[in-house]
Structure 1
Amino acid sequence: MTQTPTRPQRQAGKATGAWADGDRTPLNANEEFKQADDGLNVRARIEEVYSREGFASIPGEDLRGRMRWWGLYTQRKPGIDGGKTATLDPSELDAEYFMLRVRSDGGALTGEQLRTIAGISTEFARDTADVTDRQNIQLHWIRIEDVPTIWERLEAVGLTTAEACGDTPRVILGSPVAGIAADEVIDGTPAVREILERYIGDPEFSNLPRKFKTAISGSPSLDVAHEVNDISFVGVVHPEHGPGFDLWVGGGLSTNPMFAQRLGVWVPLDEIPDVWKGVVSIFRDHGYRRLRNRARLKFLMADWGPEKFREVLEEEYLHRTLVDGPAPQAPSEHRRDHVGVHAQNDGLYWVGVAPVAGRVSGATLATVADIAERWGSGRVRLTAHQKLLVLDVPRAKTRYVKAALAKIGLPAEPSEWRRGVMACTGIEFCKLALVETKARAGTVIAEMERRLPDFDLPFSIHINGCPNSCARTQVADVGLKGMVQTDDDGNLVEIFQIHLGGGLGTEPQLARKTRALKVRAEDLPDYVERIAGRFLEQRDGSESFAHWAHRAEEDDLR
């Protein structure tokens, strides 16, 4: 049953649309269609009506709204340039195909599951597949007629697309080396599974103000970007109670980037699901529903602060006091992607590889499944950095795994350029995008490997097709935000606004924006070569790029 706490919130004297205010009158179109019918209910219509009658039978509120509750986004119609993204009616942008997002909470997949996704990709999705920085796999070119069959195949191996999108609790990030890392503080996998079983697909949490992102990791490498999730549980050792989790709330990037804040509490593993329920319930009840651009939890946290948030959580939702706890230690290195060959805690090894910006294919995934089953246990993990790991490999077999993966374009010893690149979906498929991203990432990386092949320092380049920061633009060494503008000859050109020196983990800070620093897409290799060269020239000792970028003279950043 929905709780109704007694703390009304107001934004500058206006109603926020928060349910806790006592008035549930929907204040925008999204709230209207959610109130009219729960997004979870659209599945029956997909199976019984739309898959039989075709794309034209789908009404707009389901097509561009509720179908997201089952991992389906309409795909961008080919040939529409970025200048029309914000001007065309949504119906003019829609292709009669869908992007389908498959949940893999904690990034965990068995060989059978990976092979099933690969088969769906080759049979129904034109061999497309992207590993996202949310540990999902996204497929494209999906026809509505094929969706019931796809669901049947996924669910037969324990996978789902439920609440992979929409105003719901999205996929739960988890350490991809949970349970096997030799230096792990604590394995958060049981909590990930319990939240999935208890709450995902539950109508109690299927109408949130907006998306809700969760991360749970006991890795000391801080490998799930806990600073930019709505809620994160980070492994920490309490001096009296032992291993548990530090609670962070209210992170998010997009057009108003904010880091999560610590509540200063220590949460034991078995209490994570209840604490998670309390936090998501606060968001459901107190979250701002009037304006979509203020409907994320970070805005409520910014107004309340961590002290008040903890007070409400304890007094009105948990009805008990949480244990004070220490902050996690800063990681000792920049590496958080688990790429390379690493010893597990059981005498076996994992092999981590780097697709270019997460771009793979169904055929590639099928081969990865073969490799994982031939030389390992079949277990595969996806990371929050668009990387892929094959687990449980005997030491003597790691060289065979590395060679087999490299043969299909997945190196375990990638260049720093390849290792550090991330990119969102971009204009190829996304209706919000302004520019191309995946192919652009490949071009930039190939050029940098040719021009600066010996560059051997951590260096992240994150490429985003619009301001929404799905590729975490503001926390990269070089963040590239796609834009379009008209040149002197009246031609529309793709450009990127440059963000420099962002980072998480060892140096959590938002990137620096320099006045009017924009680069044409075709000039990106020249710019990256120039900025990397200046960093090497001016670097002080073991200084990181992020540190240098924040102290450098503005002219040196151009």
Structure 2
Amino acid sequence: MTVQPTETSTSRTLRPPRAGRSNGQWAVDGREPLNANEVWKQEDGGLNVRERIEQFYSRDGFASIPPQDLSGRFRWWGLYTQRKPGIDGGRTAQLDDTELSDEYFMLRVRLDGGSLTLHQLRVLADISHDFARGTADISDRQNIQYHWIRVEDVPEIWRRLEAVGLQTTEACGDTPRVILGSPLAGIAADEILDPTPVIDEITRRFVGDPELANLPRKFKSAITGHPSLDVVHEINDISLVGVVHPELGAGYDLWVGGGLSTAPRLAERIGVFVAPDEAAEVWLGVIRIFRDYGYRRMRTKARLKFLLAEWGPAKFREVLETEYLGRALPDGPPPAPASTPGDHVGIHLQKDGNHYVGAAPVVGRVSGDVLTGLADVMEAAGTDRVRLTPHQKLVVLDVPPARLDDLVTGLENLGLSVAPSPFRRHTMACTGIEFCKLAIVETKAAAATAIAELEQRLADVTAQIDTPVTLNVNGCPNSCARIQVADIGLKGMIVTLDDVQQPGFQVHLGGGLASADRDEAGLGRTVRGLKVTAADLPDLVERLVRRWLDQRAPRETFATWAHRVDEEELR
């Protein structure tokens, strides 16, 4: 069922730049840096810090790292200092980065397309055990994230990763971040086309290229050829979505300018058809537009979505074709509505007669032990491939029918549920205050507690929940857990209850991305004064779900109901 656009359910208006004022667009204003970030990026690029990490900082320790490398250039290699323990969320905005930072790092391993072999999985597990105190999380960008990493250990971690074809290059920073890809690439019978060659070409040619390593801000990409629309294409800077042109055959529809955070905006179709052998070149054209025309004066306005809001799709297409490609692209069709759920949880048949099995950890939290156990289970089942998903899930590929039952049992024993409750399946959470310096509240444990509570409290109505109700929990306003596109999105904040300040959330309701139950994406609505403490979170969700089930029309989704009813029904 389609949610009709409203001011709060689609893209919010982004203010255009002030007339006559330089916005730091290289192609318009020249390259004079207009803020401190642009100064140090021009003085010494982020890619150059690797040599200093390997030769000096790993030898001389954390205290030897100068501030601009520590809080800036390290990100080009997937490294952020993590939050110092014991600092409550009320102080997050009061302290600077040096006061919030511990002497340990989060390290992000980029997995373009989310793809891992058995050998790579074992290396990731060993790194967790040897260097990360057993931590490992599956992010909603198909990455693996570690915590408690020491700078002294980073060169050895890089050596182990790169020995098996993995990397942390440009996993963070003002760079082309990891490319989301369909977890079913190459194995699904209903696939329109396999995006793997395009993802591999872009990664091989452009990740680590100094010409693309100083962007105005981060650049997020997604490519899928699967009709489930499984790469959240509406919220990336660029997405290539599989379509069939009536004359030109299978290719991609180009979407540009999506992004959430504090100024959410959904991507727009540019209206062109991209042939598979032109996809990498078109990707390059779009990222070069962002590099050359993106706003650099203010970092809060430096994402591609702000440029698209000013230009519109027609001008963006014109600039892409005339200035960067040198030719016109054919018009193309939009993607068909999603055919199946895009998280791929459960047991499904591949086109070769084997099976793929999608499993859900709790809000992406795994560990070195779980990764080792997963590798053991996969090896026993005779499969060599697993893929991570943009929904904090994993999909084991190539499972022979005779080994299917044993694999499922092994996954369940590891806490990786193949048949999860709707609450476990559709809940995501960001890192939260446990490790993140931007966070205000704890998220992972709060979400896990809510899942367990809801499984008990709503057991009597679970069978009635025939369309997903997504619950996304975020520790701050930046929306790493995509709160504006969840049925129930929770933005971390300090709330006051009976004159006592405590961790809590502002509530967004009725958002969502295109899916098998929803034709169009839309942003959630906020209800005036609707805030909830972390302790009362299960109460709120239970109340909303029961009201929805009570009041909905046949097969009416939670999002449609949440946009339809009066605010009082949502309190």
Q: TM-score, normalised by structure 2?
A: 0.95
Residue 468 of structure 1 aligns to a residue in which SS?
A: coil
1:413 Cα deviation (Å)? 0.1
For residues 386 and 160 of structure 1, the distance between their equivalents in structure 2, rounded to whole angstroms, comes to: 20
Structure 2 counterpart of 1:73: 80
| Percentage identity across paired residues of the two chains | 65
1:555 Cα deviation (Å)? 0.8
457, 465, 471: which one pairs with 1:461? 471
For residues 393 and 332 of structure 1, the distance between their equivalents in structure 2, rounded to whole angstroms, comes to: 23
Answering whether residue 178 of structure 2 is matched by residue 174 of structure 1, we say no
For residues 382 and 227 of structure 2, the distance between their equivalents in structure 1, rounded to whole angstroms, comes to: 25
Answering whether residue 34 of structure 2 is matched by residue 24 of structure 1, we say no
Residue 363 of structure 2 aligns to a residue in which SS?
A: helix
For residues 332 and 20 of structure 1, the distance between their equivalents in structure 2, rounded to whole angstroms, comes to: 42
1:294 Cα deviation (Å)? 0.3
Residue 189 of structure 2 aligns to a residue in which SS?
A: coil
Residue 201 of structure 1 aligns to a residue in which SS?
A: coil
1:11 Cα deviation (Å)? 3.3
For residues 13 and 472 of structure 1, the distance between their equivalents in structure 2, rounded to whole angstroms, comes to: 34
Task: Give the conservation status (yes or no) of the 8 Å contact 2:23–2:296.
Answer: yes
Structure 2 counterpart of 1:5: none
Structure 2 counterpart of 1:343: 349
Residue 318 of structure 2 aligns to a residue in which SS?
A: helix
1:377 Cα deviation (Å)? 2.1
What do residues 80-107 of structure 1 show as CA deviations (whole Å, max 9, x unaligned)?
A: 0011111112111010000000011000
Letter in 2 for 1:276: W
Letter in 2 for 1:557: L
Answering whether residue 534 of structure 2 is matched by residue 521 of structure 1, we say yes
225, 231, 254: which one pairs with 1:218? 225
What do residues 457-507 of structure 1 show as CA deviations (whole Å, max 9, x unaligned)?
A: 311100000000000000001000000134445x43011100011011124
Letter in 2 for 1:117: L
307, 315, 321: which one pairs with 1:314? 321
470, 484, 487: which one pairs with 2:494? 484
C-alpha RMSD of the superposition: 1.0
1:12 Cα deviation (Å)? 2.8
Answering whether residue 515 of structure 2 is matched by residue 502 of structure 1, we say no
Letter in 2 for 1:394: P
Task: Give the conservation status (yes or no) of the 8 Å contact 2:495–2:532.
Answer: no
For residues 11 and 281 of structure 1, the distance between their equivalents in structure 2, rounded to whole angstroms, comes to: 23
For residues 344 and 109 of structure 2, the distance between their equivalents in structure 1, rounded to whole angstroms, comes to: 22
Structure 1 counterpart of 2:446: 440
How many pairs are equivalent? 548
Letter in 1 for 2:106: M
377, 380, 391: which one pairs with 1:385? 391
Task: Give the conservation status (yes or no) of the 8 Å contact 1:103–1:164.
Answer: yes
Which structure carries more relative contact order (alpha carbon 8 Å, separation 6+)?
2
For residues 555 and 22 of structure 1, the distance between their equivalents in structure 2, rounded to whole angstroms, comes to: 50
For residues 377 and 485 of structure 2, the distance between their equivalents in structure 1, rounded to whole angstroms, comes to: 34
349, 364, 369: which one pairs with 2:370? 364
For residues 232 and 418 of structure 1, the distance between their equivalents in structure 2, rounded to whole angstroms, comes to: 28
Answering whether residue 452 of structure 2 is matched by residue 452 of structure 1, we say no
326, 332, 345: which one pairs with 2:339? 332
Gaps of 5+ in 2: 1-15
Structure 1 counterpart of 2:3: none
Task: Give the conservation status (yes or no) of the 8 Å contact 2:475–2:493.
Answer: yes
1:542 Cα deviation (Å)? 0.7
Task: Give the conservation status (yes or no) of the 8 Å contact 2:495–2:505.
Answer: no
For residues 10 and 332 of structure 1, the distance between their equivalents in structure 2, rounded to whole angstroms, comes to: 40
Structure 2 counterpart of 1:512: 525
Distance 1:487-1:451 versus aligned 2 partners, 3 A rule: closer
Letter in 2 for 1:19: W
For residues 371 and 164 of structure 2, the distance between their equivalents in structure 1, rounded to whole angstroms, comes to: 16
Letter in 2 for 1:538: Q
For residues 104 and 470 of structure 1, the distance between their equivalents in structure 2, rounded to whole angstroms, comes to: 17
What do residues 68-123 of structure 1 show as CA deviations (whole Å, max 9, x unaligned)?
A: 00000000000000111111121110100000000110000001111101100011
Task: Give the conservation status (yes or no) of the 8 Å contact 2:429–2:474.
Answer: yes
Gaps of 5+ in 1: 1-8
For residues 173 and 312 of structure 1, the distance between their equivalents in structure 2, rounded to whole angstroms, comes to: 25
Structure 1 counterpart of 2:6: none
Residue 535 of structure 2 aligns to a residue in which SS?
A: helix
Q: Which residues of 2 match residues 416-427 of structure 1 at below 5 A?
A: 416-427=422-433
Structure 1 counterpart of 2:485: 475
Letter in 2 for 1:519: V
Distance 1:294-1:116 versus aligned 2 partners, 3 A rule: same
Task: Give the conservation status (yes or no) of the 8 Å contact 1:246–1:325.
Answer: yes
1:332 Cα deviation (Å)? 3.4
For residues 60 and 142 of structure 1, the distance between their equivalents in structure 2, rounded to whole angstroms, comes to: 18
For residues 93 and 536 of structure 1, the distance between their equivalents in structure 2, rounded to whole angstroms, comes to: 44
Task: Give the conservation status (yes or no) of the 8 Å contact 1:372–1:391.
Answer: no
For residues 526 and 503 of structure 2, the distance between their equivalents in structure 1, rounded to whole angstroms, comes to: 19
Answering whether residue 570 of structure 2 is matched by residue 557 of structure 1, we say yes
Residue 14 of structure 1 aligns to a residue in which SS?
A: coil
For residues 449 and 54 of structure 1, the distance between their equivalents in structure 2, rounded to whole angstroms, comes to: 47
For residues 496 and 91 of structure 2, the distance between their equivalents in structure 1, rounded to whole angstroms, comes to: 13
Residue 356 of structure 1 aligns to a residue in which SS?
A: coil
Task: Give the conservation status (yes or no) of the 8 Å contact 2:272–2:331.
Answer: yes
Residue 244 of structure 2 aligns to a residue in which SS?
A: strand
Answering whether residue 20 of structure 2 is matched by residue 13 of structure 1, we say yes
Task: Give the conservation status (yes or no) of the 8 Å contact 1:463–1:471.
Answer: yes
What do residues 172-204 of structure 1 show as CA deviations (whole Å, max 9, x unaligned)?
A: 000001101111111110000000000000001
Answering whether residue 410 of structure 2 is matched by residue 396 of structure 1, we say no
For residues 376 and 84 of structure 2, the distance between their equivalents in structure 1, rounded to whole angstroms, comes to: 35
Structure 2 counterpart of 1:4: none
Poorly superposed stretches of 4+, deviation over 6 Å: none
For residues 376 and 339 of structure 1, the distance between their equivalents in structure 2, rounded to whole angstroms, comes to: 20
For residues 114 and 248 of structure 1, the distance between their equivalents in structure 2, rounded to whole angstroms, comes to: 32
Q: TM-score, normalised by structure 1?
A: 0.97
Residue 17 of structure 1 aligns to a residue in which SS?
A: coil
Task: Give the conservation status (yes or no) of the 8 Å contact 1:76–1:429.
Answer: yes
For residues 430 and 357 of structure 1, the distance between their equivalents in structure 2, rounded to whole angstroms, comes to: 16
For residues 136 and 258 of structure 1, the distance between their equivalents in structure 2, rounded to whole angstroms, comes to: 23
What do residues 117-155 of structure 1 show as CA deviations (whole Å, max 9, x unaligned)?
A: 110001100000000000000000000000000000000
Structure 1 counterpart of 2:209: 202
1:10 Cα deviation (Å)? 5.7
1:13 Cα deviation (Å)? 2.2
Structure 1 counterpart of 2:548: 535
